[in-house]
Amino acid sequence: QSALTQPRSVSGSPGQSVTISCTGTSSDVGTYNYVSWYQQRPGKAPKLMISDVTQRPSGVPDRFSGSKSGNTASLTVSGLQAEDEADYYCCSYAGSYTWVFGGGTKLTVL
């Protein structure tokens, strides 16, 4: 499978909202409601922020939200805080018990 497509970078000022897109195909994002999002800080492992397109695990701030339309999923971070600065990756189930990931988006808090 080809990697999911994400913008290389997004930025916003504290308190603003930013949205990161994740575009796949009808073989992954478009078919399955198993899209997840991860936050990764330098030298650390990815941390699950959103699962099943919209579900926030316990402990993840409600400033993080997910959605999907067609072959594109999105992660929105509202009320940006300095601590949100990190790399963000999307992931979709791609059938046959495999996953496909995005190339990553660097979120900068100005």
100 Cβ partners below 8 Å, 6+ apart?
A: 1, 2, 3, 4, 24, 28, 91, 92, 94
Residue 91 beta carbon to another protein: minimum distance, rounded to whole angstroms: 6
Identified binder of another protein from the candidate list 45, 59, 62, 69, rule CB under 8 A: 45
- Residue 51 engages another protein in binding (rule: CB under 8 A): yes
81: nearest Cα among 7, 18, 6, 8: 18
2: nearest Cα among 75, 92, 73: 92
Task: Give the binding range for another protein (CB under 8 A) out of 9-17, 63-71, 74-82, 92-100.
Answer: 92-100
53 three-state secondary structure: coil
Window 62 to 81, contacts with another protein (CB under 8 A): none
In whole angstroms, give the CA distance from residue 24 to residue 9: 18
- Residue 32 engages another protein in binding (rule: CB under 8 A): yes
Binding site for another protein (CB under 8 A): 3, 6, 32, 34, 36, 38, 44-48, 51-52, 57, 89, 91, 93, 96-104
